[in-house]
C-alpha cells in the first residue's frame, strides 16, 4: 500500500509541476501578476499537493498574497466557485486598505485579537489554561496551516514496518 501511495503521489506531483510550468511559460512576464487559489478540505490543508506545487513556482513571498489556499467543506469546488472566492478576497483587501489602512487585514478574523483577550480572561475565571495558536501578523507569508509539533508519525515512512506474514 505504501508503494502504491508513493507512486500515486509522484504521478500527481509530476502532473501538476508540468501543468504549472506550462502555465508559467504561457504567461511569460505576466506570471508575476498572476493569482492562484487552491481549495482544500480540513484533512489536506497541511499537505495539499496542488498548493504545495504552486508554492514552488510562486515562491514563499506569494503565499497568502497572490497564492491562496481556500478551505472549503466540499471535496470539489467548481471553477466558478473558486473565481468567486478569489474575487471576494481581492475585493475585501481593498476595503481593508480604505477603512483600516491595511490591505491584508480583511484576510483575518477581525474580532480575533479581541476574542483572544476575552478567551484568556474567561479561561482564567474558570481555572482553565488558555490554548491558542500563535498570533499571525496581517500579511503573513507563512504556510497557511500553523504547525504545532506533536508526537507520533508524520508520514507513512515514519510508520513501523508491518509484522511479517501480514498482508502488505
- Regarding whether 122 and 46 lie in a shared domain, the answer is no
The string of pLDDT tens digits covering residues 96-133 is: 899 989 998 888 777 788 899 999 999 999 999 999 88
* Number of structural domains in the chain: 2
The string of pLDDT tens digits covering residues 124-158 is: 999 999 998 888 777 888 877 666 677 777 788 88
- Regarding whether 124 and 67 lie in a shared domain, the answer is no
- Regarding whether 126 and 96 lie in a shared domain, the answer is no
Q: In the numeric block, which cell numbers belong to residue 130?
A: 488558555
Mention every residue, 6+ apart, whose C-beta is less than 8 A from residue 163.
none
- Regarding whether 39 and 14 lie in a shared domain, the answer is yes
- Compute the mean pLDDT over every residue in the chain, rounded to the nearest whole number: 87
Is 153 a domain residue? no
- Regarding whether 120 and 55 lie in a shared domain, the answer is no
- CB 45, CB 71: distance < 8 Å: yes
pTM for the full predicted model:
0.79
Is 142 a domain residue? no
| Chain centroid to CA 157 | 23
- Regarding whether 91 and 37 lie in a shared domain, the answer is yes
- Regarding whether 18 and 86 lie in a shared domain, the answer is yes
Q: Report the C-alpha gap between 107 and 95 in whole angstroms.
A: 11
Per the structure, the complete domain to which residue 117 belongs is given by 109-135
- Regarding whether 99 and 113 lie in a shared domain, the answer is no
- Regarding whether 97 and 73 lie in a shared domain, the answer is yes
Is 125 a domain residue? yes
Amino acid at each position: 500500500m505504501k508503494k502504491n501511495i508513493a507512486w500515486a503521489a509522484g504521478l500527481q506531483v509530476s502532473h501538476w509541476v508540468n501543468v504549472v510550468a506550462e502555465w508559467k511559460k504561457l504567461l511569460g512576464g505576466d506570471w508575476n501578476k498572476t493569482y492562484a487559489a487552491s481549495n482544500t478540505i480540513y484533512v489536506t490543508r497541511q499537505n495539499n499537493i496542488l498548493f504545495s506545487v504552486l508554492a514552488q513556482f510562486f515562491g514563499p513571498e506569494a503565499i497568502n498574497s497572490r497564492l491562496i489556499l481556500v478551505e472549503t467543506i466540499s471535496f470539489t469546488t467548481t471553477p466558478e466557485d473558486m473565481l468567486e472566492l478569489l474575487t471576494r478576497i481581492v475585493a475585501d483587501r481593498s476595503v481593508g486598505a480604505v477603512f483600516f489602512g491595511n490591505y491584508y487585514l480583511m484576510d483575518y478574523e477581525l474580532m480575533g485579537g479581541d476574542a483572544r483577550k476575552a478567551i484568556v480572561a474567561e479561561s482564567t475565571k474558570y481555572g482553565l489554561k488558555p490554548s491558542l495558536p500563535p498570533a499571525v501578523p496581517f500579511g503573513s507569508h507563512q504556510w497557511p496551516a500553523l504547525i504545532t509539533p506533536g508526537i507520533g508519525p508524520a508520514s507513512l515512512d515514519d510508520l513501523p514496518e508491518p509484522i511479517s506474514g501480514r498482508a502488505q
